[in-house]
Amino acid sequence: MYQKLEKPGCKWGIFGIASLIGNIALMAFYTVVTGWIIYYFIKFLTGQNADFGFTQMITNPTVNVVFLLVTVVVA
């Protein structure tokens, strides 16, 4: 979109693309972590905090995908 405004020979568009890729990578990381937080919060609210197992949660792809989708929908 802004390529029309960029002067010929300028390479500032590369920084814009790098910023976009960086933001997408950060968002991908933080949505996963936020899904974990929501999972633990629900476990806490239901009183199942005695068996919080990070390994147990990580090895179950269904739990990860469901809480990732919950994070994306809520956000």
pLDDT tens-digit profile of 10-29? 877 788 889 999 999 999 99
Of residues 70 and 4, more confidence is placed in: 70
Classify the C-alpha dihedral 40-55-35-31 as positive or negative.
positive
On average, the pLDDT of the chain sits at 86
Does this model's pTM top 0.85? My answer is no
Q: Which two tokens stand for residue 32?
A: 């996963």
pLDDT tens-digit profile of 5-15? 777 778 777 88
Q: Where are the domains of the chain?
A: 12-74
**Residue 2 reports pLDDT greater than 70:** no
